[in-house]
Amino acid sequence: MMSTYISTLAWTSAARNVLPRLQTEITKAQVEISTGRSADLGLSLGVGTGQSVDLHAAEARLTTLKQDHALAKSRLDLTQTALGQISSDTNTFLQNLIAAKSSNLGTAIMVDQAKSGLSAFTAMMNTSDGQRYAFGGENSSIAPLVDYDSGPKAAVNAAFALRFGLNAADPQNDPNIANISASDMEDFLNNEFAALFADPAWGQDWSRASSQDVTTRISTSETVPVSTTANTTAMRNLAMAYTMVSQLGLTALPEAAKDMVLKKAVDVTGAAVSGLTAVSSTLGVSQTRIAAAETATQNSLDVVSARIAAIEGVDPAEAKTRLDTLTTQLQMSYSTTAKIMQLSILNYV
């Protein structure tokens, strides 16, 4: 008669070998419950894995597009808010100019309003969200408009003094201002003075902005402008109007020359108002198009996400049942292994 011997090692090894498989399956089930997706896409999808990769790439593109929409909306909101304040200030200034031209408002008061208006305009032009300047165009990393006293003032004073033979150090307080005729002032405003707000002087003395608006892609085939710049005609006109009223010795000018300056300021400010309205309208169109693109992008993203869920998703109830079963099996395996480990031939000697 032949005897067969089975060692304790053989008993325990068979039980222990089951444990890694159960632990791996439990981990997979836990992942599927928490994510709602198959834990091993390559195994579950097979040849359909390529479709899953394509769908995830499309999902990433659409998600990036949504982020671009949010950034564009933020930039447009910042710009439109600043434009609204500038437009309000400009309309008030225009009304006061008309009143001053009709002698209902003192010239000295008008000069003070123009000075404060120029300062406020510069501040609004340098509006920033902490990362970029709203009116800098593509050159949005630096403040677009130079403070008047730091740059433009020297050029304005030099042009004024040279044209009328005034004291170059302080032309506005030169008594010879009282001798300037209306025709000479008109010629100065239309030529030397106007040139200060045209290129290249504007870029040298006033502005550090780019003339190129920032654009954002809102779909695979559509881009829109999401900013304007300090170099637009409207902004130059507004700077010109504030400067001619505040920096050309208005209170000391003869009545005819003073009227000429105020008339010119009314015309230039009126043009600035129209220009600001046009700029705001253009950006408003961009806001409307972005809103439509947002809806379309979200709809596309919902479709792609649904397709991904359809091919990668798992039944949570089935995964939970499988996890419970595997957990029970693991506990039983631990219990069996423990009992086997307690067995010894010595117990029967």
Domain 54-302 homologous superfamily, CATH: f41 fragment of flagellin, N-terminal domain (1.20.1330.10)
Distances, alpha carbon 58 to alpha carbons 62, 151, 250, 322, in Å? 6, 50, 64, 32
Q: Could you state, in order of their start, the residue ranges of all structural domains in the chain?
A: 54-302, 316-349
pLDDT given at position 166: 96
| Cα–Cα distance measured from residue 193 to residue 210, given in angstroms and rounded to the nearest whole number | 23
Confidence of residue 261 (pLDDT cuts 50, 70, 90): very high
- DSSP conformation letters of 199-237: TTHIIIIIB---SSPPEEEEETTEEEE---BTTSHHHHH
Confidence of residue 316 (pLDDT cuts 50, 70, 90): low
- 125 or 340: whose pLDDT is higher? 125
pLDDT given at position 74: 93
- 72-114 confidence digits (pLDDT tens): 999 999 999 999 999 999 999 999 999 887 765 688 899 999 9
Confidence of residue 292 (pLDDT cuts 50, 70, 90): very high
Q: What average pLDDT does this structure show over 27-50?
A: 57
pLDDT given at position 85: 96
| Cα–Cα distance measured from residue 330 to residue 334, given in angstroms and rounded to the nearest whole number | 6
- 194-212 confidence digits (pLDDT tens): 999 999 999 999 999 999 9
| pTM for this prediction | 0.77
Confidence of residue 51 (pLDDT cuts 50, 70, 90): confident
Whether the pLDDT of residue 323 is over 90: the answer is no
